[in-house]
Structure 1
Amino acid sequence: MNVSLLVPFAHGERGMTDLLGGKGANLAEMTRLGLPVPPGFTLTTEACRRYLKDGHRPPGLDDQVRKALTDLERSTGRAFGEGDRPLLVSVRSGAKFSMPGMMETVLDVGLTDALVERMVLRQDPRFVWDCYRRLVEMYGRTVLGVPSTSIDAVRAGVLAEQGVSATAELDVAGLRSLVAAHRRALVATTGLDLPQDPWEQLTSSIDAVFSSWNSIRAQVYRRHEGISGDLGTAVTVMQMVYGNSGPHSGSGVCFSRNPATGDPEPYGDYLPEAQGEDVVSGSQATLSLAHMAGREPGAHHELLSHISTLEKHYRDLCDVEFTVQDGTLYVLQTRVGKRSPAAAFVIAADMAEEGLVSEDEALVRVGGRQLELLLHDTFEVPGGARPLMTGLPASPGAGVGSIVFDPHTAVARRAAGDDVVLVRTETSAEDLDGILASVAVVTARGGLASHAAVVARGFGRTCVTGVAGLVVDELAGQAVTAAGDVLRTGDVVSVDGTTGTVYAGSLAVRPGPVAGGLMTVEDASDPEGPGNGADQRVLAAVRRILQHADQRATVKVRTNAETADEAAAARAAGATGIGLCRTEHMLLGSRRALVENVILGIGAQDALARMEQLAVQEFTGLLRVMDGLPVVVRLLDPPLHEFLPDPEGLAVAVALLEGAGKPVSDVLRTRLDATRRWRESNPMLGLRGVRLLTVHPELVDVHVRALVTAAHQLDAAGGNPRPEIMVPLVSDVAELVSARSRIVEVAVATVLALGSDLPTPPVGVMIELPRAALCADDLATVAEFFSFGTNDLTQTTWGMSRDDAETGFLSTYLSDGILPKDPFTTLDPRGVGELIRIAVERGRRTRPDLELGACGEQAGDPDSIAFFVDCGLDYVSCSPPRVPVARLEVGRAAVLAEGTSLSDTR
């Protein structure tokens, strides 16, 4: 197949993102819309892929570039690298999915010593030398590989010599001195200087941008965002326009709506006499769009018109980069803008209300990961809390941690288990690892469109930018605020990304606005919910979208709960029952000895009586809270060692007594003998689940009697209890037949003894062993429902423990890229998922009305829920805090399964 290697802007369109990347496709689309886009062309992702595979530009590409340059010269009336007003170009990366700051850009390509000398005769010399300075710096870093730290050091030295604090303050002589210093550094570092052939500059810049697809920071970003490494990046070559050409010039970044709050007014940063890199780097204080209107009213009015056009055309939040050159506006880029989780819900709900998108599209434009972030804590700010500094609220949330001043320390401290706050003058793409490792980021410079703000919002990190007066000294390991407070490495601060305030010390936290409105029983019927006006607006948006998700869902959401409080919170959040009540969780802590006594035969009858009494109380609370809804109670399924004492500890106690000549009690010897007898080589695969219930059937009796008794009491009081019983760790139908016989016998006897007319609770099986999945057709002859216990099914399928995810080899597998995701967090569709599909098909073939659910950790994972919906399950069951997330995702999955179009909001 002959795939294009180069496409002019005028020949592309929005739907060509696979070939042109997001930037190239959107430039083509804006050109088609008639927006003032500088002319140019795009080298395609296919060209990049061939370059990366072969190590050189594809045959024929250079000829296509030369022809495209000739066409560009004809359209602009300028010659590339020639004349006193030459055609210069920018060379920028542009992958299919936005990766802000992760790859490379080179500006002013084509400028040479000879051209500079000609241009200064006709144009402002300072403007010309500033352009040359930018080219030398970018070419050195991007093409020749000079470290950014070296470039920064050279710049700092010249600024000190010239007695100024910023590049913008250098005069012509200072800029010439800076260019010369950079070029000396290039030669000293690499042995190479800036080429004086414009064509060599262009082709080597293209090669460098292609190569930047595989830079370390780009790979880290893709891995975090789940972007395939096979896509490659397109490269856009565009006529340069100059925001640094005089007092009526400037550059900016704006959004059609506020990306932090979702407010429906355009928001942006504008920097006079600057290029776009100056805006996003945060190296200079920017102005608002309102200030821009005062300086350049015509360009401002035109910009607002174009923003409105783009939002209506893309039907989404648009992120727009622009330049004003001598009063003339140019639009350089647009993309669907990244937004905070709160803004994502507000914008989706507002656009549905405005009729810009359908309710279905509003639903699929938000996701469970975003909702999870809104469930995070916010601060309880006491009256005595001391604000240290205030900046722009770039990414909402609350982060408490110890200050660090460089990304490497952030990564190391996080690996040691510490929460850290990264404090920087400004961030760059090199800081990505440090941002990911931090709970919050604070920068002295930058606005809502700065690198720190964009990356933090995308990753859900709390962020405050543009802290006026904050001076950061990374080498000294300290920062000084405008008020004179000295902050040192290790100092604890609390960062409020919602208000933009940073406090001294560790503040107490409270549930976030959505958690408070969705998870609190007292507020469940309050249409406004708790919190301030902004909180209520976010909550209202979430509720609207969740309501539509419920209407579209084909799968119910239940909860995992063992206490009435947990059940109440889950029901307030929208749970439609309990899919998993783990009876062993009711017997941990101080109650653990009851099971131990039964197993060891020490006061067993008294222990059983007390266990039954406690179980009646717990089951009554659950059934009452979930009145009219199903409550699935799983019989005991712990590894036996969780309820037995440590045999080594008992042996030491016996030895110490014997060594001291003291008597050893019969109870102590009995406990030691029994724990040795019951000890297992692999407790995760030994005497547990249905096997424990076969060896100790009295444990079945206790919980069945307690459940039936609790249901009878509620039924007698006018309630509608719906208990169900689940048998765990079954591998063969004979095990289930035996257990079910015992359950039914005890249930019937209890009903008769109570004089109740309740039916026997349905009996189902937990599928958590590969053999159970493969024998599902047999199990369905006995079981009335299946519930997939994906935690243990993952363990037994992979042959690894969940503990490995935290302390073992699995962390190495993930960091080395051997596994793309933790299989205990996100379902493995190829292995575990295939077993589930087999069990679903075989189970329903035997019993068409078989009810199917999933109740492992993955049942609340946004990335796994679509799989369960696709399998045809009836419900998923997750922890109470994840119920809203699951509700959202089951609705999204139903809509997406029907093929509803989704604008890219990555």
Structure 2
Amino acid sequence: MQNNPNTTLVTPTAPITAKTHGGRAKCLQRLARLDLPVPTTVALSFDAVLDIAKGHFPDIDAILTQFPPEALLCVRPSSEDPDWGGPSAVLNIGMNDQRFETLCGTLGVDAATALFSRFVQSYAIHVDRLDPDMFDDIEGEGTDALHRALEAYESETETPFPTTRAAQLTGVLKSMARAWEGTSARLLRQAKGAPADAGLGLVIQQMAFGMGHGESGSGVLQLVSSKTGKPQITGRYLRQSQGRDALSGDAASLYITRDPRGPSLEEHVPDAFAQLVAHARQMRQKLREEMQVEFTIENGQLHILDGVRVARSSRATVRIAVELARDGIIPTQEALMRVEPRALNELLHRQVDRHAKRDVIGSGIAASPGAATGRVVFTATDAQASAARREDCILVRRETAPEDIRGMHAASAVITERGGVTSHAAVIGRGIGLPCVVGVSDMRFEPSKGKLIANDGRVISAGDVITVDGTNGTILLGAPEMQEAALDDAFNALMEWADAERDIGIRANADTPADAQTARNFDAQGIGLCRTEHMFFEPGRLTVMREMIFAETSDDRRAVLERLLPMQRDDFTQLFRIMQGKPVCIRLFDPPLHEFLPTDRNGQRELADALDLPLSDVTRRIEEMAEYNPMLGMRGVRMGITVPEIYDMQARAIFEATVEASRESDPVVPEIMIPLVSAKREVELVRSRIDGVAAAVATEQHVKFDYRLGVMVETPRAALRAGEIAQHCSFLSFGTNDLTQMTYGLSRDDAGRFMSDYVRQEVFAEDPFHSLDVEGVGELLQLGSARGRAAQPDLTLSICGEHGGNPESIAFCRQAGFDYVSCSPFRVPVARLAAAQLAISHKIG
């Protein structure tokens, strides 16, 4: 049997692999190789179990000859990945009247009765699929209760309870094999990532009783905390028990190590405790993993029943991988590969504790990770007022607009009724690390009445306390327990190793000095996108900006912009200083001007008073500027050509800040990016003006400085005509948010309303605003980059849309030969790790 590929005695040399017999079988073989006290075990392969499901059984008698005649057995599932689950284990196979009488003499009547009763109920429920309620009328314990259980079984099945070990084992194997092939089980494991044809192995193991006259019991032990990953011997031990009874919450369970709260295994059985810890350390060293050890003590003798990978939080995942590498057990490259990049969000942001009770009142798109609790407010002004009172608040809007940015900075989290993963709220939320849930369609928003109405009818009013879980896209009532963010030494070590491996640059999108400092703290290699328009929404600047919009002539506009110039210059100087010589790519003004004007009557009245204009003039001017489709209207480079004074002012501010920052440290080489380009002539016109401003500043300041000019490729035509555009550029940066929007003809703000239906019906494999469409949009990137580099071989290529922080998108950019990706500051660590994993995977093929 040792060499039988399908019915295999577990020995150090048996033909067992995780892909043929499952992870549990392979782990038990490894424990046997370590000469640990593992009970006799026979492993059934995936093929053998599949045959059983079809009614073809292995030689049961041959299997039973591997065990002592009187030994009781247990059967456990062994799937390729433990996370895929499997049918429940069945213990004490072989119990019958004869074995019962024997155990009464060795264990005592009470213990033997408990074993037999447990087996009868387990067999009835898990093997014969009987209703557990059939045993509800059986009261008390002891032999009378046992006999009533046997009678209930016989009454329900109209057959006596099986008495032979062979018959019982056959029934258990058939039941577990068919359970795995059931529709519900298949759907459940596929939801956990298992392939549709995933196989199940089974292990048949001799029972090591946790019951006896001497010290007996069962429990689990691990060497690290599942929450933090730090060294901490934890677990539970329950005397006179079997399996994982110790974890059932029984008050009689003992602690593993000495504990002031109660008795412990270490105190009562120090020798077994010492052996157990030694075995666990040996498993860590040889299996190259932190393992939870399942054990039994039978009359003072220790048995190791199983070893499973320690369950762990994302924080613990990082710590465990790093410590294994530090101890030389695994190489740093393997440590990097063991951490899922997106799992870093748990370390970077505050989260709802995984064990906290959740009262979910709504859900939407998880647009920006992290969690926050606060009182509901419905306007940006109220959010700012809450911040002034030092009260946490949650800003609720139908959708956010640029004028809401101050309120978003003041809030602890944001909820919007509309929008998708690249909507305004989502992009700003990710940029400043603000938890955000958008596209909340299962709640009714009534902001004018100051309330939200959940699907179940509950009303949440302004001032009520709610929690936003931006990681999972849910809204919770009340304030559940939180887990704080933690960037510790293990995280820093992992990031250092990642930087040593990756071969593509990682920059951050940062609009303010605060964003830049966050990017710097996360070791971004520079700023890949600074959206300058966000600087104009500060209270002191918005009024000036509106004055400029209402100016009648070019000279009037220039005069007003002179007041904004020092503000912009100070912003850029701070950015350059914070980044300390790292590249900073500044996008020139992009949005349509109407975004800076109030839409409501009260706001328009206040603007008229501020500008000393009749209200009718203000409303008429606002109406004149309205566009049917402002995202495709006069914005970006079109604004720079038709209202050139704005770009002139911004270019001067950039160059004067360059001179100022370069006096204190290494010379600054700013990168200036022209947005929404679609024609070569646009670049020529803007470049000539910027070159003129640069020359003027150099003459005035009596200094020389360098700068780089590039284009943000976000229209399909720019990608197609990249060859002629690149002749006037140092770099091309693909703005994949707008490029996706224009390629698909989809509004990134409105697509969330139907995108889930499209993905569900397989129109799109995934939301193209969430994961880069490598077939359509990706082809434009490839065309644009190839044509651009053909015209300009040393052209720098990058993407600066939100796809830049997506691991799958980074893989595409790396393969296409891009120099760097740029993403929100809080996604920089995720991108650094993902890039490292891609480089490692490439090296190992």
- TM-score after normalising by structure 1: 0.69
Q: CA deviation at 1:359?
A: 3.1
Alignment of 1:451-600 (within 5 A): 512-514=485-487, 539-588=488-537, 590=539, 591-592=541-542, 594-595=544-545, 598-599=548-549
Task: Tell me the SS of whatever aligns to 1:62.
Answer: coil
The two structures, once aligned, show a CA RMSD in angstroms of 4.4
- Aligned partner letter, 1:619: F
Mapped contact 1:549–1:887 kept (Cα < 8 A): yes
- 1:523-547 alpha-carbon deviations (Å, 9 max, x no partner): xxxxxxxxxxxxxxxx222223322
Question: Where does residue 275 of structure 1 map in the other structure?
Answer: 242
1:865–1:175 distance in 2 versus 1, CA, 3 Å: farther
| Seq. identity, % | 32
Alignment of 1:662-741 (within 5 A): 665-675=615-625, 678-681=626-629, 683-716=630-663, 720-741=667-688
Task: Tell me the SS of whatever aligns to 2:727.
Answer: coil
- Aligned partner letter, 2:74: V
Q: CA deviation at 1:39?
A: 3.5
Q: CA deviation at 1:206?
A: 1.8
Alignment of 1:239-254 (within 5 A): 239-247=205-213, 248-254=215-221
Question: Where does residue 98 of structure 1 map in the other structure?
Answer: 82
Alignment of 1:105-144 (within 5 A): 105-108=88-91, 110-111=93-94, 124-139=108-123, 141-143=125-127
Q: Distance in 2 between matches of 1:492 and 1:400?
A: 20
Question: Where does residue 31 of structure 2 map in the other structure?
Answer: 30
- Aligned partner letter, 1:234: L
1:826–1:246 distance in 2 versus 1, CA, 3 Å: farther
Mapped contact 1:20–1:42 kept (Cα < 8 A): yes
1:605–1:420 distance in 2 versus 1, CA, 3 Å: closer
**In the alignment, does 2:179 pair up with 1:208?**
yes
1:742–1:208 distance in 2 versus 1, CA, 3 Å: same
Work out which of the residue numbers 302, 307, 322 in structure 2 matches 1:349: 322
Work out which of the residue numbers 238, 251, 257 in structure 1 matches 2:204: 238
- 1:170-213 alpha-carbon deviations (Å, 9 max, x no partner): 444445556666887x77xxx99977743234312221134377
**In the alignment, does 2:322 pair up with 1:375?**
no
Question: Where does residue 71 of structure 1 map in the other structure?
Answer: 62
1:781–1:653 distance in 2 versus 1, CA, 3 Å: closer
Q: Distance in 2 between matches of 1:685 and 1:842?
A: 25
1:786–1:416 distance in 2 versus 1, CA, 3 Å: closer
**In the alignment, does 2:779 pair up with 1:788?**
no
1:31–1:266 distance in 2 versus 1, CA, 3 Å: same
Question: Where does residue 836 of structure 2 map in the other structure?
Answer: 891
Question: Where does residue 229 of structure 2 map in the other structure?
Answer: 262
**In the alignment, does 2:54 pair up with 1:88?**
no
Q: CA deviation at 1:567?
A: 1.7
Work out which of the residue numbers 53, 56, 62 in structure 2 matches 1:57: 53
Q: Distance in 1 between matches of 2:90 and 2:63?
A: 17
Q: Distance in 2 between matches of 1:125 and 1:508?
A: 46
- Aligned partner letter, 1:671: R
Task: Tell me the SS of whatever aligns to 1:339.
Answer: coil
Question: Where does residue 575 of structure 2 map in the other structure?
Answer: 622
Q: Distance in 2 between matches of 1:14 and 1:748?
A: 76
Q: CA deviation at 1:41?
A: 3.9
Alignment of 1:162-181 (within 5 A): 162=140, 170-177=141-148
Work out which of the residue numbers 286, 289, 293 in structure 1 matches 2:256: 289
- Aligned partner letter, 2:826: P
- Aligned partner letter, 1:568: Q
- Aligned partner letter, 1:106: A
- Aligned partner letter, 2:73: L
How many correspondences in the alignment? Answer: 719
1:868–1:73 distance in 2 versus 1, CA, 3 Å: same
Q: CA deviation at 1:735?
A: 3.6
- Aligned partner letter, 1:24: A
Mapped contact 1:107–1:240 kept (Cα < 8 A): no
Mapped contact 2:349–2:371 kept (Cα < 8 A): no
1:544–1:200 distance in 2 versus 1, CA, 3 Å: closer
1:672–1:140 distance in 2 versus 1, CA, 3 Å: farther
Mapped contact 2:22–2:79 kept (Cα < 8 A): yes
- 1:620-657 alpha-carbon deviations (Å, 9 max, x no partner): 221222232211001122356533444xx579999xx9
1:598–1:885 distance in 2 versus 1, CA, 3 Å: same
Q: Distance in 1 between matches of 2:767 and 2:342?
A: 16
- 1:265-313 alpha-carbon deviations (Å, 9 max, x no partner): 5433222222224234445553233433444455434433332222111
Higher alpha-carbon deviation: 505-514 or 19-28:
505-514
Q: Distance in 1 between matches of 2:161 and 2:718?
A: 68
Q: Distance in 2 between matches of 1:798 and 1:183?
A: 65
Task: Tell me the SS of whatever aligns to 2:586.
Answer: strand
**In the alignment, does 2:780 pair up with 1:848?**
no
- Aligned partner letter, 1:108: L
- Aligned partner letter, 2:65: R
Question: Where does residue 167 of structure 1 map in the other structure?
Answer: none
Question: Where does residue 632 of structure 1 map in the other structure?
Answer: 585
- Aligned partner letter, 2:512: T
Q: Distance in 2 between matches of 1:818 and 1:8?
A: 49
Question: Where does residue 464 of structure 1 map in the other structure?
Answer: none
Task: Tell me the SS of whatever aligns to 2:572.
Answer: helix
Q: Distance in 1 between matches of 2:233 and 2:312?
A: 13
- 1:767-822 alpha-carbon deviations (Å, 9 max, x no partner): 334444444444332321122323333433454444357x5223456678887755
Q: Distance in 1 between matches of 2:195 and 2:614?
A: 66
Q: CA deviation at 1:331?
A: 2.5
Structure 2 unmatched ranges of 5 or more: 258-263, 374-412, 414-463, 468-477
Higher alpha-carbon deviation: 686-695 or 202-211:
686-695
**In the alignment, does 2:259 pair up with 1:313?**
no
Mapped contact 1:209–1:235 kept (Cα < 8 A): no
Q: Distance in 2 between matches of 1:750 and 1:575?
A: 30
Mapped contact 1:400–1:507 kept (Cα < 8 A): no
Q: CA deviation at 1:674?
A: 0.9
Task: Tell me the SS of whatever aligns to 1:881.
Answer: helix
Task: Tell me the SS of whatever aligns to 1:229.
Answer: coil
Question: Where does residue 766 of structure 1 map in the other structure?
Answer: 712
Q: Distance in 2 between matches of 1:860 and 1:72?
A: 53
Q: Distance in 1 between matches of 2:619 and 2:171?
A: 86
Mapped contact 2:594–2:622 kept (Cα < 8 A): no
Mapped contact 2:78–2:203 kept (Cα < 8 A): no
1:702–1:820 distance in 2 versus 1, CA, 3 Å: same
Q: Distance in 2 between matches of 1:77 and 1:414?
A: 57
Task: Tell me the SS of whatever aligns to 1:722.
Answer: coil
Task: Tell me the SS of whatever aligns to 1:557.
Answer: strand
Question: Where does residue 462 of structure 1 map in the other structure?
Answer: none
Q: Distance in 2 between matches of 1:277 and 1:235?
A: 21
Task: Tell me the SS of whatever aligns to 2:728.
Answer: coil
1:797–1:74 distance in 2 versus 1, CA, 3 Å: farther
Task: Tell me the SS of whatever aligns to 2:219.
Answer: strand
- Aligned partner letter, 2:523: G
Q: Distance in 2 between matches of 1:298 and 1:636?
A: 73
Q: Distance in 1 between matches of 2:670 and 2:38?
A: 65
1:861–1:286 distance in 2 versus 1, CA, 3 Å: farther
Question: Where does residue 455 of structure 1 map in the other structure?
Answer: none
